[in-house]
Amino acid sequence: MLQVFSRSLSWLVIIFSTIALSQAVGAETTSPAKLSEQERFFENSVRPLLVQKCLDCHSGDDSDESSLAIASRENLLKGADFGPSILPGRSQDSVLIRAIKWTHKELRMPPDKDDRLSREEISVLAKWVDDGAFWASTKLAARPSATEREKPLKGKTVETDHWSFKPRNIVSPPNVDDARWAENEIDRFLQNERRKRQLTAVREADRRTLIRRITFDLTGLPPTPTEIKEFVADPRSDDDAWRSLVGRLLASPHYGERWGRHWLDVARYADTQGDVGDIPIPDAWRYRNWVIDSLNADMPFDAFLQAQIAGDVLAQKAAATSEEVRNLVVATGFISLSQRFGNSKKDQLHLTIENTIDTLGRGVLGLTLRCFTLPRPSFRPGSANGLLRAVRHLR
């Protein structure tokens, strides 16, 4: 029975295992979404600023002129000669913020006028303090040199053991004694596992239960009383009646609406641009509908991905009709929906691109590529040059 729809659903299954696993791989020790946003802000905006503008003179070495080390949150909370350097939640009163704003009585940081922080940089640090001065688990570290960044990391078997680097394998389904469970391959896997765990399967569901389950699964809606009645009374064999039911549901436009939603989650779809302004994106719905229509049209998964990542390029090459061109361009909504940061599109473009790469990595490769942006990743599944090429493409 399962075979009827297992093919159409198979790529969704792949996506879901991808998401589940990529979340497991990228799991943060504390998971609330809020935290990961704070972490992102710290890693993308705060850490680089402190490393580049302050760390040289505030490393905590005895040779530093200042006894203030800024290598950790604790150091900053403790502060030095001028008391605590930061008061989380109170940027106005924090010595560090007043020093970089040059509103402190004595301190002007960085001391050299030419190195003075820009207004954006000051507001990054002020926002960071006001939001509680979140600090990622690691200490600040000086940036490794370019050659060091390209070096493969030693002693991390995860690079080869990681599931998403393994070639796909054809496995043969196990043999099971019970003929009832040998009807299709998936049943055989399940039965095999049940036997190992000494579990007995429950009875087969009746038609009323089946139609309810499958209608919810494929369309997200309950079956109507008439549909239930018709299926229960269908004089054909269980197998034939089931096949035609599944066929009808897969052909329903609600199928794409139901299952497209899951891909839209992967693509972090929203009708607005994110960040504080939350400005509506007028044409976002076109991309949403493209996803739904693609599912309903049974578009192969490779074409589905290619259109979203490089639809604009494909549109130039192919001898496409104007409708195809339009659809290919709409598909790149996957990229153009990337989160915006701040008020000006240009200023924080690198963060927007980082968001795109993160979405691509998690959604398509089963990898959190975010680690590339850290100065010393514990695990780097490729070269920084590869990432730079991706950035160039996305720009």
Binding-site ranges for ligand HEC (CB under 6 A): 53-54, 56-58, 65-66, 68, 79-82, 85, 95-96, 99-100, 106-107, 109-111, 117
Q: 68 or 87, CB closer to ligand HEC?
A: 68
Which residue bears the tokens 């499958």?
A: 214
Q: 79 or 375, CB closer to ligand HEC?
A: 79
Cα dihedral 88, 92, 96, 97 sign: positive
Q: For the CB of residue 129, give the shortest distance to ligand HEC in the complex, in Å.
A: 11
Q: Which of 42, 60, 47, 64 is nearest to 111 (CA)?
A: 64
Q: For the CB of residue 42, give the shortest distance to ligand HEC in the complex, in Å.
A: 15
Q: For the CB of residue 51, give the shortest distance to ligand HEC in the complex, in Å.
A: 10
Q: Which of 257, 263, 256, 274 is nearest to 359 (CA)?
A: 263
Q: For the CB of residue 56, give the shortest distance to ligand HEC in the complex, in Å.
A: 6
Q: Are residues 143 and 51 in contact, defined by beta-carbon separation less than 8 angstroms?
A: yes
What distance in Å separates the CA atoms of residue 246 and residue 242, rounded to the nearest whole number? 6
What distance in Å separates the CA atoms of residue 216 and residue 223, rounded to the nearest whole number? 8
Q: 56 or 239, CB closer to ligand HEC?
A: 56
Q: Compute CA distances 131 → 31, 127, 176, 278, whole Å.
A: 18, 6, 58, 19
Q: Which of 262, 258, 264 is nearest to 218 (CA)?
A: 258
3-class DSSP assignment, residue 277 = coil
What distance in Å separates the CA atoms of residue 313 and residue 394, rounded to the nearest whole number? 12
Contacts of residue 148, Cβ cutoff 8 Å, sequence gap at least 6: none
3-class DSSP assignment, residue 348 = coil
Which pair of tokens denotes residue 203?
């009875």
Backbone angles phi, psi at 165, to 5 degrees: -95, -5
Q: Which of 349, 318, 315, 350 is nearest to 331 (CA)?
A: 315
Cα dihedral 83, 88, 94, 95 sign: positive
Q: 53 or 362, CB closer to ligand HEC?
A: 53
How many residues appear in the chain? 395
Q: 131 or 293, CB closer to ligand HEC?
A: 131
> HSE of 68 in the Cβ direction (CA atoms, 13 Å)?
22
3-class DSSP assignment, residue 336 = helix
Q: For the CB of residue 273, give the shortest distance to ligand HEC in the complex, in Å.
A: 30
Chain centroid, CA 211 distance in Å: 34
Q: For the CB of residue 374, give the shortest distance to ligand HEC in the complex, in Å.
A: 20
Q: 95 or 249, CB closer to ligand HEC?
A: 95
Q: 96 or 330, CB closer to ligand HEC?
A: 96
Q: For the CB of residue 117, give the shortest distance to ligand HEC in the complex, in Å.
A: 6
Q: 77 or 228, CB closer to ligand HEC?
A: 77
Q: For the CB of residue 97, give the shortest distance to ligand HEC in the complex, in Å.
A: 8
Q: For the CB of residue 89, give the shortest distance to ligand HEC in the complex, in Å.
A: 17
Q: 95 or 357, CB closer to ligand HEC?
A: 95
Q: 126 or 349, CB closer to ligand HEC?
A: 126
Q: For the CB of residue 220, give the shortest distance to ligand HEC in the complex, in Å.
A: 52
